[in-house]
Amino acid sequence: MKARIRITAAVLLAAAALSQPALAQSGPIKIGVVTPLSGTYTPIGQQVRWGLELAAKEINAAGGIAGRQVNLLFEDEEANPAVAVQKAEKLFQVEKVDFLAGTVNSGSTLAVAQLAERNDKLAATTVSFADSITADKCSPNMFRVNARAEQQSVALAAWLEKEKPKSKVFYLGPDYEMGRSTVAAFKANAEKTGAQSTGEVFAPLDAKDYTQYFGQIRASRPQVVYTSVAGNDTVRLLTQLQDFGLLSNLTVVGASGTVTSQNIGAIGAAAEGFATGVGYSTQIDTPANKKFVETFRAATKADPDLYGADSYGLLFAYKAAVEKAGSTETAKVREALRGLSWQTPQGEKTIRAGDHQAMQPMYVVRVNKGKFDIIANVPADQAIGPDTCTRF
Amino acid sequence: MRDRLTTSMRASHVLALIFVVAALCLAAFGAATGDTFYLRLGTEALIFAGLALSVDLLLGYSGALSLGQALYFGIGAYVSALTLMKVPSFWLAMGAAFLVTLAAAIIGGLIANRVRGVYFALITFGLAQVFAKVVYNTRELGASDGMIGVPVIQIGLGPFSVSAASPAGFFLVVLGIIMGLYALTAYLLDTPFGRVLTALKANEKRVPFLGYSVWRARMAAYVFAGLVAGLSGALYPMLRGFVSPELMFFATSGNAVISVILGGVGTLIGAIYGSVLLVILKSIIGSWTEHHLIVIGLLFMACVMFLPKGMVGFVRPRIERLLGREPAAPEPAPPSSATIKSGSAA
């Protein structure tokens, strides 16, 4: 009896070994996730992880992707491109994943895109917002399902045009590369919609005293101040503006990282009326989003943010693409993803074929009694900006 | 009579030989099984071993702790990447990296060698951080995103040509370069100049009384260490196809210092063993738990407490004893080192 079992087992093993290539198309679909699980960006990586895990659980419960279960494999990105590339190569080469997601640092996303090209695999980011990823440094193997920096400023400028047409705008940014490029991007979009620029200053990062710029702001008599400072800098800037009485009759708008749940408490009343463009808010009033927020809270005891929602949505895009392509082969899935429209908690997203950037409705939120309220929607096609990718 | 320093260096060479043989076995095994990831991970470990070697040259010999050696590693990497994107030539990239690192190390050395001890550590740390921030904010150098698009190159070695994309081929090229740098460093430390460096670490105040310039020796060691780091860094974009400012951040310098301490300060080969061990540990533990930093930290503490001279520092005395038994026979020592010995032993 024992011998027979052993023989049967041997035969089964041999059969399994022989049918290996066939199994590759019928075993679980492996999706690699390289995202920060340690260090400063852990909270972002945590949201990415929660979003993807929730989506995988729902997809697996409903029968998987084309009948195959989804298997997520996590690696720590450490928000360092040198680490991300090494981990991504491990997932591609050793684990033979079918798809890769999760990179946060824009440099990591760009480097992983190049690695994906050299390994003939597909990857997607749900967090990185540097425009270059789907513009001048676009890659045929990289997709982005979250809103890029450009979409945030286009949406905000579109709202500003309606709210305060032809207004005079003053710009105040932190003095480093990212600060300068966000100001330049918003300025270009605001001027396109008829706003008048009255001046710009760049304050050093971690500046203690912003009052030295107030003379310049007051002299130019703006109706709107745009700022892309972040963290504790925002706390000081806004409270000092309030102390000097400059906030009356002034609309303050900014980048999506300027006022966040982390610093809104410290800013207090000075944050009232601050407006920004975002790709997601838990307040989006659709049944799909309500259900998503509810299940997300039940699973994680935390609210989903932008990163969680975008990561959740990604797996459904991949599912739709694989089912449309009828395979997980790179070329076929890439074709299926191009131009794909699918439903997410944020509304319908469409991947633009020309640069692999997802188009999605954008929201303008404003602080009202210490909380962000959605005050306007900007349709996907108005917030996307031109396709500048020339590689494919 | 052979002096103690030469004997310990010989013991290091034995360990280096074991390392090379093990690496060649790995390359052969990897090539036979068609592996890509592990060979490329090994190549990366070797590249970072070059950086650790340069830290050990400073820390283990002249006694100066550099917390910013990634500065030269990063400069080498950026110069190599910029050159390769214009002209995809291996030798041109290495030459350009050599020249720019040389200039940078002379400037850095002039600044850092004005002070010593903990101030030297702080100055080198500061220099690297300042430079990394400048690169981080310079759009022409890709700013925070770094630069991608470094082409896969063909490395011409006389009649042969190796592709940087071939895992085993490029592994062997990097192995050759790093072990070449090791041999060069070891040779240099066996010359009178090397003995001055050792004297500096032992008692800096007495060195001028023997007629040597402290500043000149420290400066030469610093520039040479910068070059070793720069040439290792120049290999990085060939392997990974990109550079990013994170290569110059403290994490990179700090990992090099950890590698040296794990492997054994002042052993040279220990830096290489330590670096390979650290890269492999990080890769394995990182896949296993997100608390890999805690595990690495505990290992590091255990090493400092129980193996204060590092792995090689633990093993080497045994090899020295084995080697010490041999030369009872009439001494047919290599002539090059014999002359030096008579000079320094006098």
pLDDT per residue as tens digits for the range A293-344: 999 999 999 888 888 999 999 999 999 999 999 989 999 999 999 999 999 9
- Answer yes or no: is pLDDT of A20 > 80: no
Report yes or no: A34 at the B interface, CB cutoff 8 Å.
no
What is the three-class DSSP state of A260? coil
Residue B280 lies in a domain: no
Which chain B residues contact residue A94 at CB under 8 A?
Answer: 37-38
Domain residue limits at B95 = 4-253+312-322
Residues above pLDDT 70, as percent of chain A: 94
First-to-last C-alpha distance (Å) of chain B: 12
User: Which pair of tokens denotes residue B76?
Assistant: 């080498």
Instruction: Using 50 as the pLDDT threshold, list the residues of chain B that sit under it.
Output: 328-346
Q: Specify whether the CB–CB gap between A77 and A103 falls below 8 A.
A: yes
- Answer yes or no: is pLDDT of A15 > 50: no
CA distance B308 to chain A (A): 28
CA distance A306 to chain B (A): 22
Which residue of B144, B252, B291 is in closest CB contact with A106?
Answer: B144
Residue B291 lies in a domain: no
Which residue of B41, B44, B139 is in closest CB contact with A177?
Answer: B139
Which residue of B146, B252, B291 is in closest CB contact with A111?
Answer: B146
**pLDDT by residue (tens digit) across B125-178?**
999 999 999 999 888 898 888 899 899 988 888 788 888 888 999 999 999 999
* Mean pLDDT for all residues in chain A: 88
Which residue of A80, A81, A90 is in closest CB contact with B37?
Answer: A90
Number of domains in chain B: 1
User: Which pair of tokens denotes residue A163?
Assistant: 């709210």
Which chain A residues contact residue B149 at CB under 8 A?
Answer: 114, 137
Residue B111 lies in a domain: yes
Task: Please list, in sequence order, all residues whose beta carbon lies within 8 angstroms of the beta carbon of residue B340, skipping any fewer than 6 positions away.
Answer: B190, B191, B192
Which chain B residues contact residue A176 at CB under 8 A?
Answer: 136-137
Return d(Cα B41, Cα A26) in angstroms, integer: 30
Q: Specify whether the CB–CB gap between B47 and B104 falls below 8 A.
A: no
CA distance A111 to chain B (A): 6
**Which CATH superfamily includes the segment(s) A21-147+285-360?**
Response regulator (3.40.50.2300)
Residue B341 lies in a domain: no
Return d(Cα B302, Cα B292) in angstroms, integer: 15
What are the DSSP calls for A49-95, one per residue? HHHHHHHHHHHHHTT-BTTB-EEEEEEE-TT-HHHHHHHHHHHHHTS
Return d(Cα A203, Cα A218) in angstroms, integer: 16
Residue B286 lies in a domain: no
Residue B191 lies in a domain: yes
Return d(Cα A296, Cα A292) in angstroms, integer: 6
Which chain A residues contact residue B138 at CB under 8 A?
Answer: 177
Question: What are the domain boundaries of chain A?
Answer: 21-147+285-360, 151-278
**Which CATH superfamily includes the segment(s) A151-278?**
Response regulator (3.40.50.2300)
Which residue, among A380, A381, A378, A316, has the nearest Cα to A342 in the 3D structure? A316
Which residue of A75, A81, A93 is in closest CB contact with B287?
Answer: A75
Residue B28 lies in a domain: yes
pLDDT at residue A4 in the model: 52
Report yes or no: B4 at the A interface, CB cutoff 8 Å.
no
- Burial zone of A240 (CB within 10 Å; 0-12 exposed, 13-18 middle, 19+ buried): middle
Report yes or no: B247 at the A interface, CB cutoff 8 Å.
yes
Task: Identify the residue among A74, A76, A105, A175 best suited for mutation to test binding to B, counting B beta carbons within 10 A and taking the highest.
Answer: A76
Q: Do domains A21-147+285-360 and A151-278 have the same CATH topology?
A: yes
Q: Specify whether the CB–CB gap between A371 and A260 falls below 8 A.
A: no
- Burial zone of A221 (CB within 10 Å; 0-12 exposed, 13-18 middle, 19+ buried): exposed
Q: How confident is the model at residue A25 (pLDDT cuts 50, 70, 90)?
A: low
E-strand spans in chain A? 29-35, 70-76, 99-101, 122-125, 142-144, 168-174, 196-203, 224-227, 251-254, 275-278, 341-344, 347-351, 358-359, 362-368, 371-378
**pLDDT by residue (tens digit) across A345-390?**
988 999 998 899 999 999 999 999 888 899 888 888 888 888 888 8
- Answer yes or no: is pLDDT of A13 > 80: no
pLDDT at residue B339 in the model: 40
What is the three-class DSSP state of B37? helix
